[in-house]
Amino acid sequence: MSKYLVTGGAGYVGSVVAAHLVEAGHEVTVLDDLSTGFREAVPAGAEFIEGRIQDAAEWLNPSFDAVLHFAAFSQVGESVVNPEKYWSNNVGGTMALLAAMRDADVRTLVFSSTAATYGEPVSTPITETDPTAPTSPYGASKLAVDHMIAGECAAHGLAAVSLRYFNVAGAYGNRGERHDPESHLIPLVLQVALGEREFISVYGDDYPTPDGTCVRDYIHVADLAEAHLLALDAATAGEHLVCNLGNGNGFSVREVVETVRKVTGHPIPEVIAARRGGDPAVLVASAARAHERLGWQPSRADLAGIVADAWAFARRTEHAGE
């Protein structure tokens, strides 16, 4: 059994990983300021501290074996209009966390990086050696943290793994996506099925893709969680390992909408809107390195299954207040 600090463990991905760690018998402390997270998402069996990563030094001590760092702001659009919020929290907050880890001699880190660090891809599927040229302050803030972590590994012997998630989707029991505002496609389409939204906007149907709509790589949040447990084992002192996490399969916006129709039985009206700036036509991961270095194999790659789990969560959340 090991002892882990999970920052952002009341959020979507962090709470699912915290649940997996508790289920594997580990001791888990969640540090989250609830700025976008939910207290009830923290698994029973984990200790909860309502606090900021900027103050991590108050709680970190040498009894922790590693930190899993999810806490961040992650709204791409908001980062464009309020970039300082992203630099301050994502970069400034992580700087404080790294200093606290150094002081407490906690020498292993798993970090939530993102496909947004790559920006417009030069080729598909994207590998970790491809150029990084983020198109938003959010992506830039995450890339800056990746650079910061690399320096920490080289200079101070940190063992670190940055996991670059593609489109995380699905749910794990009563833990799922509840971003506000929601910007991710599957929960948005499900809002139409729930009657909370009249139609789904499809931003651009003239991309150079088979049906003209954007193609993305959807990865089930439980597959993603398993990669974090493997990353803790793979982390090596002095090395910054960067791994993409995706299924290597692309699904278009139209395919996602059609899948939601099949899963929910709702007709899901769609309205074609103009392209949004900074939306690449295709974002698909090569996860070859995650397979090789982490021994990771996703087992929930079926889009209908991912949507079905997200739908079960959305309906449960809808009825939660009744």
Ligand X SMILES: NC(=O)c1ccc[n+]([C@@H]2O[C@H](COP(=O)([O-])OP(=O)(O)OC[C@H]3O[C@@H](n4cnc5c(N)ncnc54)[C@H](O)[C@@H]3O)[C@@H](O)[C@H]2O)c1
Q: C-beta of 302: minimal distance to ligand X in Å?
A: 18
Q: C-beta of 93: minimal distance to ligand X in Å?
A: 4
CB-count burial class (<10 Å; 0-12, 13-18, 19+) for 44: exposed
| Interface size with ligand X, residues (CB under 6 A) | 28
Distance linking the first and last C-alpha atoms of the chain: 39
Q: Which of 33, 128, 223, 226 binds ligand X (CB under 6 A)?
A: 33
Q: List Cβ neighbours of 121 (8 Å cut-off, separation of 6 or more).
A: 130, 280, 282, 283
Is residue 247 involved in binding ligand X (CB under 6 A)?
no
Q: Which of 46, 76, 168, 215 binds ligand X (CB under 6 A)?
A: 168
CB atoms inside a 10 Å sphere around CB 12: 25
CB atoms inside a 10 Å sphere around CB 35: 12
Q: C-beta of 10: minimal distance to ligand X in Å?
A: 4
Nearest-angstrom CA–CA distance, 187 and 181: 11
Q: Which is catalytic among the residues 12, 138, 165, 172?
A: 138
Binding mask 92-131 for ligand X (x = CB under 6 A): -x------------------x-x-----------------
Q: Which is nearer to ligand X, 167 or 247 (CB)?
A: 167
Q: Which is nearer to ligand X, 70 or 313 (CB)?
A: 70
Is residue 285 involved in binding ligand X (CB under 6 A)?
no
Only one of the segments 65-73, 150-158, 202-210, 290-298 lies at the binding site for ligand X (rule: CB under 6 A); that segment is 65-73
Three-class DSSP category at 138: helix
Nearest-angstrom CA–CA distance, 54 and 50: 12
CB 290 within 8 A of CB 228: no
Is residue 46 involved in binding ligand X (CB under 6 A)?
no
Instruction: List the beta bridge partners of residue 5.
Output: 29, 67
Q: Please name the residue that has the structure tokens 């139609």.
A: 199
Active site residue 138: yes
List residues near ligand X by CB under 6 A.
Answer: 7-8, 10-14, 31-37, 52-54, 70-72, 74, 89, 93, 112, 114, 165, 167-168
